[in-house]
Amino acid sequence: MDHEAQRPPAGSHRFLIVSGFFAPRPGGGAETLRNLLHWIDPSTYRVVTAGRPRGEPETTPIAEARVHRCSWALPFGAKGQQLVQTLQIPLATLRAAWIARRGGCRTIVGVCPDLQFMAVAYLTHRLTGLPLAVYLLDLIDEGGHTGYLGALARWLQRGILKRARVVWTISEATADHIRTALRTPAEALPHCYNEPIAAAPEPAAGTGCSLLFCGNVYDINSAALARVLRAAGRVPGAVAHVVGPNSSETLARIDGGAGDHVKADFLDSRADVLGFMRAQDVLVACLSWPEESWVGVKELATIFPTKLPEYLAQGRPILVHCPEDYYLARFVREHDCGWVVSERSEDAIVRALDEIRRDAGLRRTRCENALATAWRFAGHAIARQFLAGLDGSRGDAARHGALALSRS
């Protein structure tokens, strides 16, 4: 079934997206927005985002999107970049407020994972009086920030959860944490998958064991991915592909990432990425254990990788490597749509890969379940939920933001 036949109403609510990651910058946050905005008329929104760091690869821009870069990425190290981005918050906020008023925007939509641009979204809301909606792809105060960034994250999370008219999260686990632990209403707005979903899985992609990890390699997944790569090196004929905006230096730092069986690449076309997924024997998703990462345990335990809906929709075997009590593991087990290895053991990963290759009946069942589960992420339904949330914010604007609206 083609999702396009169920396209939601275009909507006329003008809004400003504030996000540090937006295409052509690569990454999960940028792709989440790309897939959601596929359903939205580009004339109804504007985007405030960050400059692209030198040497970072580009993905395809979103056609007709009006994108304004309100900060500059200077050639410093990671800590220097964080400081420079933080110092640019006031100027970026002033420019975002001007863009919102000039564009007739009626809601500010802040998209985490970038701490500084969530601060820009919040301060633009305070400056203009426009209602604030937030889309949390990560928890703000669970990113392992310390020092001045930790203080900023704590202040920002308190302010945003107190004042946001709508709080969306990428997973139900994150929404549940916000509702129960932080006592703030929240609802899950999953990652969209917009392409057609096959009715049945294709035959095994190959006779060997071709693995694919797709996405950024960083602190939340690097230790777990290293075990998968080392385990793949023990399987005769196996090839492990790592596709994403990852430098050779990044993979070289991973124990096992420099093996001859590991192939690194970057594909800037979404069609090419999805086609490459369908050609693999195993699709890999992994998250590090808490003691392997500086990211907070609540963040790790509630993460739902943005690539997983794309994995599911290909109808290929999925291997998940993470602790048993993480939401990712629970989701895959609940829907029986993949293999979960929750032991920190290369032997256990090798056994799972062997079962995937040898048990054709189980492989077909779980691939069929993956395709059925992929419909939970159908883009047209998620876009309707997003537009309904904006309509609710518009009602709040009439009550709370009359002065700001009159200025725009």
| pTM, rounded to two decimals | 0.80
Summarize pLDDT for 3-43 with one digit per residue, the tens.
555 666 555 679 999 999 999 888 888 989 999 999 999 99
Can you count the helices (H) and strands (E) in the chain?
Answer: 16, 13
Residue 396 confidence (pLDDT) above 50? no
**How many other C-beta atoms are found inside a 10 Å radius of the C-beta of residue 371?**
19
**pLDDT given at position 401:** 34
CA distance 58 to 46: 20
Summarize pLDDT for 142-173 with one digit per residue, the tens.
766 789 999 999 999 999 999 999 999 999 99
Termini Cα distance of the chain: 42
Q: Is the CB of residue 321 less than 8 Å from the CB of residue 228?
A: yes
Q: Is the CB of residue 39 less than 8 Å from the CB of residue 8?
A: yes
CA distance 242 to 360: 25
| Amino acid code (one letter) for 177 | H
Summarize pLDDT for 368-391 with one digit per residue, the tens.
999 999 999 989 889 999 999 988
Q: What are phi and psi of 293, to 5 degrees?
A: -140, 145
Q: Is the CB of residue 26 less than 8 Å from the CB of residue 399?
A: no
CA distance 41 to 34: 12
Cis status of the peptide bond prior to 9, with omega within 30 of 0: no
Q: Where do the DSSP E strands lie in 100-175?
A: 108-112, 132-136, 166-169
Find all residues with CB under 8 Å of 264, minimum gap 6, and list them.
Answer: 241, 242, 243, 246, 248, 251
Domains (range + CATH), the chain: 3-192+378-407 (3.40.50.2000), 210-376 (3.40.50.2000)
- pLDDT bin (cut points 50, 70, 90) of residue 129 is very high
